């Protein structure tokens, strides 16, 4: 029989140093991995003998997520997260009694420099509850980027739940919204024909690109002068902070409410948190209840989320002591492999996403999907999301991607113009030399 601690060592998961889980793994029942799919570890199963029923699939980077570049929600939960669930409090969060949940909410609020926090089940729920709490009564509108999640991927929730109209804006620089974009599109009129802008919702990061802190501050100043509330879809704001673009609390100071995701990037199996003023969060609790988001024994959701925050992002608002920042270095190296082979990029590589321009690179749609599948990887379209479990498997994944890029670009028409552009410049995507800490 193989103990959980041995599994963790062989599968390169991080040690159980988190206070919530310290010592728990040694009390965990004997751990057995499944002999099926992509979750098994070949070093543990070299024969075809029947094994005992599996005790856990919480194997971190040894799981399927370690080869999946489709999104940073594809990470496999870790043994530390499972141990945290085994040790969490199991009281009623609707009655606001569960200490594990309350501690997580308070910790995230402190990281963001806000008064209070509220655990929710998803980023979509977080955005919808926050916006519903900020908006009062029609006529009202929310100004946002045309590519934003609240417009494209939340099933029309803003209009359905608040009666607000979305004022979508295409960034004039093609990358992120600026104050000039907001000033040109915000409706400040009290004319009876107009639908006034009541909330500006900014997504940061968006498509992996950072909206600079200085620009966010300019937009926030404009909003406050005109009585407009500010919300941040900060599902990946952790990435901006870890990249050094500004501390979490510095960005959060510009907003009335923020939603922060525990699943995207950080690797928790479920959950997000809303942070903001105490009175707004109290109102958000009512909205959450009305949407069916009140949980009883919420500790089972909050416990792995706390592990994800502390281990992946870090324990202070800069994210300096977490692993998340290393995924940005890897993303830049992967982008450089692509451009060095003659490919082009669609967006700058600021954080953990690499968007390749297939059309400009002469690569037909579906080619990368097929080639990555042949290498045992998973990818969707022209986006690669480099999460921390890809980083932990970089010694295998990077050579595989290099082979994929070589094959894909070798098939491109020779007449395709591969003249370097701003996005292909080495200054834009970083040095090829590794900056990782030694193992």
Tokens matching residue 422: 């701003």
Q: Does some domain include residue 439?
A: no
- The residue-averaged pLDDT of 81-102 equals 96
End residue of a domain, out of 87, 110, 139: 87
Report if residue 318 sits inside a domain.
no
Question: Quick one: 218 and 135 in the same domain?
Answer: yes
- Calpha distance 258→216 (Å, rounded): 13
pLDDT at residue 188 tops 50: yes
pLDDT bin (cut points 50, 70, 90) of residue 22 is low
* C-alpha distances out from residue 327 to 208, 376, 385, Å: 12, 20, 9
At residue 33, the pLDDT reads: 35
Residues 165 and 309 in one domain: yes
**What's the domain count of the chain?**
3
Q: Phi and psi of 260, rounded to 5°?
A: -125, 130
Q: Mean pLDDT check: name the lowest of 34-38, 73-77, 106-110, 351-355.
A: 34-38
Q: Which domain holds residue 32?
A: 1-87
Question: What size, in residues, is the chain?
Answer: 439
What does the radius of gyration of the chain's CA atoms come to, in whole angstroms? 23
What is the model's pLDDT at position 286? 96
Domain identity same for 295 and 341: no
pLDDT at residue 426 is higher than 90: no
The widest CA-to-CA distance across the chain, in whole angstroms, is 77
What is the distance of C-alpha 279 from the center of its chain? 27
CB 266, CB 312: distance < 8 Å:
yes
User: What pLDDT, in 10s, does the model give residues 385-415?
Assistant: 999 999 999 999 999 999 999 999 997 776 5
What pLDDT, on the 0 to 100 scale, is given for residue 17?
54
Residues 298 and 284 in one domain: yes
Mean pLDDT of 209-216: 98
Q: Are residues 40 and 125 both part of a single domain?
A: no
What are the backbone angles phi and psi of residue 349, rounded to the nearest 5°? Answer: -100, 90
Beta strands 272-276; 116-120: pairing state: antiparallel
Are 353 and 391 contained in the same domain? Answer: yes
Same structural domain, 300 and 343:
no
Query: For residue 334, is it within any domain?
Result: yes
Contact 258, 112 (CB under 8 A): yes
What pLDDT is stored for residue 273 in this prediction? 98
- pLDDT confidence bin for 34, thresholds 50/70/90: very low
Q: What's the average model confidence in pLDDT over 12-40?
A: 44
* Domain co-membership, 187 together with 262: yes
- Would residue 438 count as lying in a domain? no
* Residue 414 CB-density burial (10 A; 0-12 exposed, 13-18 middle, 19+ buried): exposed
pTM, 2 dp:
0.84
Looking at residue 304, what is its pLDDT? 98
- Tokens encoding 100: 């594990």
- E-strand ranges in 157-228 read 165-169, 197-203
* Last residue in a domain, options 277, 292, 313: 313
pLDDT in tens, 290-303: 999 999 999 999 99
Q: Could you tell me if 212 and 353 lie in one domain?
A: no
Q: What is the pLDDT of residue 36?
A: 35
Q: Judge whether 370 lies within some domain.
A: yes
Q: Are residues 50 and 188 in the same domain?
A: no
* C-alpha to C-alpha distance for 420 and 375, rounded to whole angstroms: 28
CATH code for the domain in which residue 341 is found: 3.90.1150
Higher pLDDT, 44 or 247: 247
Q: What is the DSSP letter of 67?
A: G
Distance CA 82, CA 84 (A): 5
In a domain, 437, yes or no: no
Residues 32 and 169 in one domain: no
pLDDT given for residue 45 in this prediction: 31
| Contacting residues for 161 by C-beta, under 8 A, at least 6 apart | 128, 131, 132, 291
Asked if pLDDT for residue 29 goes beyond 70, the answer is no
Task: Write down the pLDDT at residue 132.
Answer: 97
Which domain-ending residue is among 21, 55, 87? 87
Mean pLDDT of the chain: 86
Q: When comparing pLDDT for 34 and 61, which is higher?
A: 61
The residues with which 142 forms a beta bridge, in sequence order, are 166, 199
| pLDDT of 436 strictly over 70 | no
Is residue 59 located within the same domain as residue 112?
no
Task: Evaluate whether residue 148 is within a structural domain.
Answer: yes
């Amino acid at each position: 029989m193989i103990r959980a601690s041995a599994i963790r060592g062989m599968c390169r998961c991080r040690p159980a140093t988190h206070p919530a889980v310290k010592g728990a793994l040694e009390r965990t029942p004997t751990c057995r991995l499944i002999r099926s799919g992509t979750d098994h570890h070949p070093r543990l199963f070299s024969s075809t003998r029947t094994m005992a029923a599996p005790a856990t699939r919480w194997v971190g980077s040894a799981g399927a997520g370690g080869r999946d570049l489709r999104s940073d929600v594809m990470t496999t939960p870790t043994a530390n997260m499972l141990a945290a669930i085994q040790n969490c409090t199991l009281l009623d969060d609707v009655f606001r009694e569960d200490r594990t949940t309350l501690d997580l909410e308070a910790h995230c609020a402190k990281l963001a420099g806000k008064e209070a926090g509220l655990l929710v089940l998803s980023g979509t729920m977080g955005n919808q509850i926050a916006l519903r709490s900020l908006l009062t009564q029609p006529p009202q509108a929310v100004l946002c980027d045309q590519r934003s999640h609240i417009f494209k991927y939340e099933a029309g929730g803003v209009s359905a739940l608040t009666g607000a109209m979305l004022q979508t804006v295409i960034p004039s620089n093609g990358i992120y919204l600026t104050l000039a974009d907001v000033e040109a599109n915000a409706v400040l009129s009290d004319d009876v024909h107009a639908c006034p802008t009541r909330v500006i919702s900014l997504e940061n990061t968006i498509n992996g690109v950072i909206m600079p802190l200085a620009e966010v501050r300019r937009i926030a100043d404009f909003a406050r002068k005109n009585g407009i509330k500010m919300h941040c879809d900060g599902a990946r704001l952790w990435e901006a902070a870890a990249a050094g673009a500004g501390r979490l609390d510095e960005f959060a100071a510009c907003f009335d409410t923020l939603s922060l995701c525990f699943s995207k990037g950080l690797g928790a199996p479920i959950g997000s948190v809303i942070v903001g003023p105490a009175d707004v969060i109290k109102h958000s609790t009512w909205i959450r209840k009305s949407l069916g988001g009140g949980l009883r024994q919420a500790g089972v959701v909050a416990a792995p989320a706390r592990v994800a925050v502390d281990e992946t992002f870090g324990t202070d608002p800069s994210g300096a002591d977490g692993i998340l920042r290393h995924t940005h270095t890897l993303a830049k190296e992967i982008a450089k492999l692509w451009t060095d082979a003659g490919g082009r990029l669609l967006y700058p590589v600021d954080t953990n996403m690499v968007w390749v321009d297939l059309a400009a690179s002469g690569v037909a749609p579906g080619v990368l999907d097929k080639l990555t599948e042949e290498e045992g990887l998973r990818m969707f379209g022209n986006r690669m999301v480099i999460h921390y479990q890809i980083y932990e498997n970089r010694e295998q994944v990077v050579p595989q991607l290099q082979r994929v890029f070589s094959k894909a670009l070798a098939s491109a028409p020779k007449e395709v113009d591969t003249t370097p552009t701003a996005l292909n410049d080495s200054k834009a995507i970083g040095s090829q030399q590794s900056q990782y800490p030694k193992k």
